[in-house]
Chains A and B, each alone.
Chain A
Amino acid sequence: MASNKKYWQSVEELKEGSVVETLRNNEFVEEIPTDEFLGDKETLETSSTSRRDFLKYVGFSTAAASLAACEGPVRKSIPYVVQPDNIVVGVADWYATTIADGFDFANVLVKTREGRPIQIMPNKEIGGVTNARTQASVLSLYDSNLRLKEPRKGTTQISWADADKEIIAELERLNAANESVVLLTGSLASPSTDKVIADFIAKYPNVKHVVYDAVSESGTADAFEAMYGTRALPNYDFSKAEVIASIGADILGDWQGGYEKSYAEGRKPELGKMSYHVQIESNMSLAGANADKRIVAKPSDQVYALINLYNTVTGANMPSKATAHDAEIKKLATSLQKAGNKGVVVTGLNDKNAQLIALAINKALNSEVIDVVNVNNTRQGNDTEVAQLLKDLSSGKVKGLVTYNVNPNYSLTGFADAAKKASLSVAISTQDDATATAMQYALPAPHNLESWGDVSASANTYGLMQPTISPIFNTRQIQDVLLKWSGSSVNYYDILKEFWSTNVLNGASWNQALHDGFFKKELESVVTVNDIDINTAAATLVKNTTPSQYELNLYTSTALGDGKQANNPWLQELPDPITRASWDNYLTVSMADAKELGFDNPVKDNGAIDGNYANVTVNGVTINNIPVMVQPGQAKGSFGLALGYGRTQGLKEEMQVGVNAYPFYANGNSIQYNVSIEKASGWHKFACTQVQKTIAGRNDILKEATLKEVLNKKLDPKHTWNKPAMVSYDHQEVEAKTIDLWDEHNREIGHHFNLSIDLTSCTGCGACVVACHAENNVPVVGKHEVRVGRDMHWLRIDRYYSSEVNEKQVEASMTIEEFKAQNPNIANQEVERKYAEKILELGGGDLFAALETSAENPQVAFQPMMCQHCNHAPCETVCPVAATSHGRQGQNQMAYNRCVGTRYCANNCPYRVRRFNWFNYSDNSEFDFNMNNDYGKMVLNPDVVVRSRGVMEKCSMCIQMTQATILKAKKEGRAVKKDEFKTACSEACSTGAMVFGDVNNTEDKVTQLKEDNRAYHVLDYIGTKPNVVYQVKVRNTNEA
């Protein structure tokens, strides 16, 4: 229950007298550095600028400025010569298309303005899901820095025609000599491209197509092939699950593409159903953070846990070892058996044998959750073939190499040297990356948003990809390249159309499919199951598992994934949902190991975090100076490290952050044993928002309840698990929301917007944060500025750790309620603290010590936090120039042009959601991100102003979107439809955690949510009356 919990955000908070306490009291931890130039008397005196000069400069610049102001700049306006019929200048067009970059696959809607894509949203009508990277890929389109712009031979530019001629000649020579050529691509999952490749191979029979995924699921595909005969991954529908057992699989993160949507659908307390999710893992992952029960186990223990689980569920007796978690595993097995075909086991171990065992358990359970017919095609990489290619290239057996949008020179150890031996090497690539620069020919491929294509992410779904912008650079699609090389004169678009009409559409309309971006086909469900010797599998698995003192678990970060978009500033600045660090990867180390090895994360007085460096050696490969982050919930004896960082070739200097962990990623296995570590000297400066923006020690921010409590109709939530804040008024205890310090706004007429955020469904994925970037032109400020707490995110996702202090309370002499009754004088918000100190006798340090022990495995809760649009907003009353005011529709409005930058409002905001523009972030070479170049600026939303230096900004509740919706209704002469109002964050949210709407419209979903039993307002006792309403987080404790 909420009142028994202590919430904390960083390890540092657990220490007594920590600097965090001080930081809580300062909104702006950094002073304006006037001392730097005024305090230094010596510099002032020796300065060559005399007082007289200074006055001259001031006078001149004032005069110049006022002269310049009198004569406005002449602005040109250039219309089309021939305006396309479907474009109305100033009105956005939306196109349905598909994103597929080999790692992320999504059915999306793309918003274009005057022919420029400016935003990507999930195509929800067909169940589309986007993560932060898909959302941000629209910015990568305009990455003039990293994109390959012209065909190149060596370092010199070459025309497409010449390149074709030379390459075809060489291909024909190799074909005649019957020398092997390899076409290396990532997972394409494109049926029509497969056909183009097949035709290419028919023309050049010496060509072999090898699929290479930088982050591999090859073991899973192998296991699935062994058991079900098709090389693919099984699909999962977690909405059907009652019990989910995940062993190291980050099902809400990047594991096989992520399953957050169906996961959230299976966890709806209001519908009375909620899966019980047990996560056994070593790193703290998104799935672990959301799990009902998280068992901390180092990687080798996970292997044994998997076999033990198999043994318990099936009653078999496979070779294994006992682990410390066997009792828990037994309980889990019982739950699974009880759930029967509603139970499912998944594992993130990329090992054929481990995957076979997981498949076997699911088969034993007869699980409905796993779908072996409608398979998942998004990871087709084959590690064995890639290893063979590496060998053959080194030995000179493979003479020709054509790569497409893979970067093995960065992500595959030894590839760069091996590829040099090929007599023909061609990179067809969107990015001018390490591989493209090293190959003989680098041929530019268009970005996803400039291409035609199709994607079959799962067997029964076909997504169409269509260009949403004419090619920015001199690019040609790989399909067209291969067709040309095959000697065909047909272009790929015609092939695609033809392929769809013969193989996919089955008589349905192409135009309709293109409009929908999607086509669904019925599958015949014929399953053939091969018999697998699980005994051998388990034995091999145990044999290959070599537990060591330290083990490494590589993972992909929420922001960068496999590292394809490492040059994307939105993603670099996106704080990791767990560590809240941006612009970095780091070694996550458990608190116990950190103590032993002497690692620390001291918090500086400006709220920034530092970290030690470590040198890590895995199987003879050493990477030096990896920064260390102490991570609560990390398994002792295990380390975590994110892949995808440390890229350098073609990246802007600011983006060249982190260390490249791919050298550790041997054989595509994220688990590595035989790890040794030593502390290195020096301090690393993290850009981490972990201890910044805490909420002044007020603890009524997060509310949690158990499923049992929520479903118990006898409990009145107002007195049990969702207690409203009470205040004393006229010597009576009354609900805080009934008291008004100000006159109530009349909210009955017109629209009244509310945003509901369900903490149960929020997985912390960060898609909303990037969507907000794109919609509201939120600037990127860079690593240093984030470090000193000047990040500009209008929407952040707070992560709270919590630990139960139940045990002490059971023994206590009185409950908190009794204590409160006896001490009516203690202010409401102080009750908990006083109770802990006086009754539980947990004075200061003791309390923290108690927390720290349980912090070995804390519970995690995510809370998206943005401007709460208070009806009684504290910021509005303190603004000296009335720049922030209240709208009738419930939005707290910020007039940037009126703001003079006093920052009183931010100081007075209890939610700490206001952001100050310390600098000009556009057209400023100091902030050389997308707003500083003409290409990057194309992504800006023309309906929202780019804010200038010295003004405050914050979430506007997407007023440009609500106004546009209203205008649309007015123009069409109708009332606004049900659930028609949207914000960028609610649109981007795949799990439906964020619901936006008009509470004066009884039909809108948000109207019911606002009155729901679970609804509460953050810090309701201050009486701010926010228009953002949260839903109590529910955990399934499986007590029933």
Chain B
Amino acid sequence: MKSVNHHNSLTQVLLKSFAFLLVFLLSFSVHSQDVDEARQKEGKKLFKSLCASCHKLDKKLVGPALSGVEERREHEWLQKWIRNNAELRASGDADAIAVFEEFNGSSMTAFPQLTDKNIDDILYYTTVGEVKKAGDVAAATADASSSKDGGPKWLIYILAAAIIVAFLIIGSLLKTISELKGAPKTPGLLGQTADLWQGIKQNTFLHVLAVIFGALVTAYFLFGTLFKVGVDQGYQPIQPITFSHKIHAGDNKIECQYCHSAAKHSKHSGIPSVNVCMNCHKNISEVADDTKVVLEEGGVVLTKPDLDKEIAKIYEAAGWDTDKLAYTGNTKPVKWVRVHNLPDFAYFNHSQHVTVAGVKCQKCHGPVEEMEEVYQYSPLTMGWCVDCHKATKVDLKGNEYYAKIHAELAKKYGVDQVTIAQLGGKECGKCHY
């Protein structure tokens, strides 16, 4: 993260105390409502599992927004409605029929299994809403202030120092030699440096050394530079929708292959089509209040209003009318930017690795569940592929295909388990055709 590091402890102290103050104030405001947390928690749990697919607290979804519903309706009526709304409608209740018609005749599921207490808890939750936890904010602040590890810079300093010392020793040696040969002793530090410089200038051996050293350094950097041409490790393009894998795969623990469902069947992992997004986002039109996405670029922090706009982009692509809650048919495909680009002459097949070998996605793609924006984690060079093929042992018990081949090869190489390379995974033609 490229967030600003805090240079002195004073600012840190100031910030931390400010954060504490903030937390204190917030918790005070929440606590002032005097919420029965146990009931709220119970109600929230039930709401999330039973109601959330059609209702939100503060927004119309398939059904109406439920925040403060207790103020609008009779408690009795609500109980009846929630238990079995069809029955209520059948009994000729005018309000029930009105609600039913307002939402285009989509009937709500009946919940006869709910006890009175359950319903009360749910309704309690719709009334008090979310409770802000004091710890969250403080943790976030603390996170931001953690600093980054430095690289092994001391090594470079030591090397530089060693070179300087070596030069000084050579200089003094040269001087001693010239003195021994009978040259007059040169006085003063300035004179000594001049002599040293003179000595260096006249010494052919040093010239040769310098040239060799120069050539090596140039070669090293040139080679390093050229080798990186086309290697896009760390490539992190700006996507048309700021999609956070952290929120989806990390926080919400959605399986990778729920969206990238082609990975187990095909050479491509498949970028999910918009209808896959809509499986969930039909109901999730906005993020939770405290959701945050911290972008790496300049430490930009996206908060709820920004992120809700991102979700709206899905609706635009899918042609989903959020007011009418219907598809308009006016679709607009999302033009994602490809992060992992293999050259055409390299053939890679996801299903071979995912289905057959059972390789975890993270092995090549890195900790995607922690990435706010996806970047290319691995170098995707041939050396990187081959290294893994050389090191990885094939464990495919129970796969009939390998039964014979594996046994024979294991015997041939005198090992228990053969590596992919021994199985032929290092041949040019296996990936280049």
Chain A interface residues (CB < 8 Å from chain B)? 66, 69-70, 72, 74-83, 88-91, 746, 748-750, 883, 885, 887-889, 891, 893-898, 943-946, 956, 959-960, 963, 966-967, 969-971, 973-976
Contacts and interface: CB of A to CB of B under 8 A. Distances in A.
Contacts of B356: 967, 970-971
The prevalent SS among residues of B at the interface is loop
A889 B229 CA distance: 34
Q: Which 6 pairs of residues, A with B, have the shortest CB-CB distance?
A: A893-B429, A90-B266, A83-B273, A90-B268, A80-B273, A895-B428
Given A79-B333, A960-B347, A971-B351, A74 B429 contact: no
Nearest to B349: A967
B430 A963 contact: yes
B369 to A, nearest CB: 21
B50 to A, nearest CB: 29
Interface in B260-276: 262, 265-268, 270-276
B281 to A, nearest CB: 13
Nearest to A951: B345
B343 interface: yes
Contacts of A967: 349, 351-352, 356
A943 B268 CA distance: 11
B253 to A, nearest CB: 23
B424 interface: yes
B256 to A, nearest CB: 16
A419 B317 CA distance: 51
Nearest to B409: A749
Interface of B: 229-230, 232, 235, 237, 262, 265-268, 270-276, 317-319, 331-338, 341, 343-347, 349, 351-352, 355-356, 398-405, 408-409, 412, 424, 427-430, 432-433
Contact of A80 (B268, B332, B333, B409): B333
A897 B345 contact: yes
B3 to A, nearest CB: 27
B273 A959 contact: no
A944 B408 CA distance: 31
Given A81-B275, A956-B433, A967-B351, A90 B262 contact: yes
Contacts of A80: 273-275, 333
B229 A70 contact: yes
B275 A83 contact: yes
B433 A75 contact: no
B429 A894 contact: yes
A76 B433 contact: no
Nearest to B336: A77
Contacts of A750: 405, 408-409, 424
Given A82-B273, A897-B343, A970-B399, A76 B268 contact: no
B352 A970 contact: yes
A956 B347 CA distance: 14
Contact of A75 (B268, B338, B355, B409): B338
A975 B273 contact: no
A960 B345 CA distance: 12
A82 B334 CA distance: 12
Nearest to A74: B337
Contact of B429 (A69, A81, A895): A895
A893 B432 contact: yes
A973 B347 contact: no
Contacts of B427: 885, 887-888, 893
A966 B352 CA distance: 10
A79 B429 contact: no
A838 to B, nearest CB: 48
B273 A749 contact: no
Given A750-B424, A894-B429, A895-B428, A79 B266 contact: no
Contacts of B409: 749-750
Given A88-B262, A90-B266, A973-B401, A79 B274 contact: yes
B401 A975 contact: yes
Contact of A959 (B237, B272, B429): B429
Contacts of B332: 81
Given A77-B336, A970-B399, A975-B404, A72 B432 contact: no
Contacts of B333: 78-81
Given A889-B424, A897-B346, 18 more contacts: A75-B338, A79-B270, A79-B271, A80-B273, A81-B274, A89-B270, A90-B267, A883-B428, A893-B427, A893-B429, A895-B432, A943-B433, A945-B347, A956-B429, A963-B430, A966-B401, A971-B355, A975-B404
16 contacts: A74-B337, A77-B271, A80-B333, A90-B268, A749-B409, A883-B428, A885-B428, A887-B429, A887-B430, A888-B427, A894-B432, A943-B347, A970-B401, A970-B402, A974-B400, A975-B400
A74 B355 CA distance: 30
A945 B337 contact: no
Given A79-B273, A81-B333, A973 B398 contact: yes
Contact of A81 (B267, B273, B347, B403): B273
A66 to B, nearest CB: 8
A89 B349 CA distance: 12
Contacts of B331: 81-82
Contacts of B412: 746, 749
Contacts of A88: 262, 265-266, 270
A898 B266 contact: no
Contacts of B266: 88-91
Contacts of A973: 398-401
Given A885-B428, A963-B430, A970-B401, A79 B344 contact: no
B337 A75 contact: yes
B254 to A, nearest CB: 17
A66 B222 CA distance: 13
Contacts of A897: 343, 345-346, 432
Nearest to B240: A76
Contacts of B273: 79-83
Nearest to A956: B433
